[in-house]
Amino acid sequence: MIRRWLLALALLLPVAGHAGDARWDDFVSRFVAADGRVIDTGNGGISHSEGQGYTLLLAVAQNDRATFGRVWAWTRSRLQTRGDALFSWQWKPDADGGKIGDRNNASDGDLLIAWALLRGAQRWQQPAYRAEALKILADVRGKLIKPSRFGPLLMPAEKGFDKPAGPIVNPSYWLFPAFAEFARADRAPVWAELRQSGLALLAAGRFGQWQLPPDWLQVGDTLAPAMSHQYGYNALRVPLYLAWAGLDTPERIAPFLAYWDTNPERLPAWTDLATNAIDPDSAQPGLYTIVALVRQRQAGGTVRFGDGDNRDYYPAVLDLLSRQAAREARR
């Protein structure tokens, strides 16, 4: 009860004095268009529900109501046009301004947007945001949950991932730090059940030399990496979410530490779980921020981050999310 009260208070307090403000201002100036479209500069300049959701979430944390308002307005008018409360996952720019590239949704983007709306409703006393969030959560429950021996699976999208050999899921779509807030707002048992199923999948679905989770996981008679067969740009969010939710036990974090320790001079963004080959290049600073968060939470004491600049949207948003996680995560 005390922790819940403190979180509510933190969401309402101004944050103008913390060190992340300059980084947030830089992020908005480089990656958020005037109309509220968040631009993925490392992915052909497209926009996606994930990026809109992350930016909404960060805007609440920064108490930046103006940015929140324009990002939400663009997201609602351009992506929430499927006929339900979910969001088309991809928007492609073109000479005429752009169009939806794929009407299928992405459940991580849906959940991120719902989480941001719940927090925005609380911080700025806007019941309409809460109502919109509950509609999204209801459609996630109704359209994107599939039973399994591990508990409920969060399907990555409404279409395309239910295969004859078993459904394919994305472990990094389990948004562990949000599930308790969803359960309080939506009062459905599935959110606590997803927390447990996600942890069960992470315990059982480890592969390669370092026993890491894959970007995509097929849940059939056995568990197997699917599609990319990598621990890469999706799964690298798993340790961030575990730390943010206070679920970063030594046993759960050990595989990530072992992987990072094999390359002390640089951080590869991916490894092939079949061959154990690793990215020949070093990751941008945002990925190092995840490592700093996880390492220093394991060691105890204050989390200290570096000051490197990120070229592209994704590492820049990971940097900001890791800093937010450090402020919110339970010890």
What are the catalytic residues? 50, 108
For residue 227, the 8-state DSSP code is T
Residue with tokens 């996600």: 198
Q: How far apart are CA 71 and CA 39, in angstroms?
A: 11
Judge contact between 64 and 25, C-beta under 8 A: no
- Distance, in Å, from the CA atom of 105 to the CA atom of 154, rounded to the nearest integer, reads 13
d(CA 240, CA 291): 8
Contacts of 211 (CB under 8 A, 6+ apart): 255, 258
DSSP letter assigned to residue 220: S
The secondary structure of residue 38, as a DSSP letter, is B
**Spatial CB neighbours of 306, under 8 Å, sequence gap ≥ 6:** 285, 288, 289, 292
Kindly state the helix (H) or strand (E) to which residue 252 belongs, with its residue range.
Answer: helix 250-261
Residue in the structure block whose two tokens are 């050990």: 254
Q: In what order do the strands lie in the sheet with 47-48?
A: 47-48, 88-92, 99-105
Helices (H) and strands (E) in the chain, counts: 12, 10
CA–CA separation, 311 and 307 (whole Å): 13
Give the whole-angstrom CA distance, residue 109 versus residue 237: 14
Please, which residues have CB within 8 angstroms of residue 236's CB and are 6 or more apart in sequence?
172, 269, 270, 287, 290, 318
